[in-house]
Amino acid sequence: MLAAAAAARLAEAGVPSARFDAEVLLAEALGIDRGRLPLADDATPEHEAAYEALISRRAAREPLQHILGRAHFGPLTLAVGPGVFVPRPETELLADWAAGQVGRGAAIVDLCAGSGALGLYLAATVPEARVVLVERDHAALGYLRRNAAAATASGTATVLAGDVRDPDLPARLTGLLGAVDLVVTNPPYVPEGAALDREAAADPAAALFSGADGLDLIRDLAPLAARLLAGGGTVGVEHDDANGGGAVALLRAAGFGAVTQHRDLAGRPRYVTGRMDA
């Protein structure tokens, strides 16, 4: 009954996943897994008060992940909140593709790492991977370091405070890894002025927007990835569904071959990949 009433309230507030969110937040208030809700005893007044506070925050369109303080991404549970981009399920497609491109002991760089979703996914799934996660934003670095410290990995995951536009960055990375086998990135890629839903707008603007066409940072990332992969390797770049053609052109201009456009589960262009021959 509590979840049903809360779901109706969230739906009225425009929350797209009202029933799911209502159940997740009820489980949070009760301190149990969502799957145990049918077995839960009646909520106490204290539970009901805690639940009301959580539902009020979600009805105000505060992102669910901010309320919980965590987001799930593949095998990971990542700390997130105000100041860091909340990873989206569609990025798991890039992560899964990337994990299939390299073998044991691969040297991997995650540029614009944010919470660490891509790089830590690879650290968890590629045996003995050596992963460096690069992020420049102070607030995001706090979450990234926390997530890297908590991650389970058979290899190493190293956080590097750095700007992808710094010309000295390749030298700093090569010193950590040696030859790089794979570069992945989910950079800011939303065109300036694009309409966002209220939850997406809660992400830091610096993690979202990248010039009039959303490609400004990818213009810098493509040649950087080419330098890092000069010994041969693969790159994967997530992009806005409106600028996939531009991302393809930028990888080709940087010298990548076998440039391929990939679509998400809704059929929208979502990420582009390429290879650099030694």
Tell me the C-alpha distance between 270 and 252, whole Å.
17
Quote the Cα angle for 224-111-132, to 5°.
105
Q: Is 191 annotated as a binding residue?
A: no
Q: Is 186 annotated as a binding residue?
A: yes
CB environment 147-176: b (16+ within 10 A), e (fewer):
bbeebebebebebbebebeeeebbeebbee
DSSP state of 135: E
Within 13 Å and on the Cβ side, how many CA atoms surround 151? 33
Amino acid at 120: L
Q: Is 188 annotated as a binding residue?
A: yes
Give the pairing of strands 107-111 and 257-263: unpaired
Q: Is 189 annotated as a binding residue?
A: yes
Q: Are 188 and 219 in contact (CB under 8 A)?
A: no
Q: Are 110 and 87 in contact (CB under 8 A)?
A: no
Q: Is 147 annotated as a binding residue?
A: no
């509590």: which residue's tokens? 2
Tell me the C-alpha distance between 222 and 236, whole Å.
10
For the annotated binding site, the residues are 135, 186-189
For the annotated binding site for substrate, the residues are 186-189
For the annotated binding site for S-adenosyl-L-methionine, the residues are 135, 186
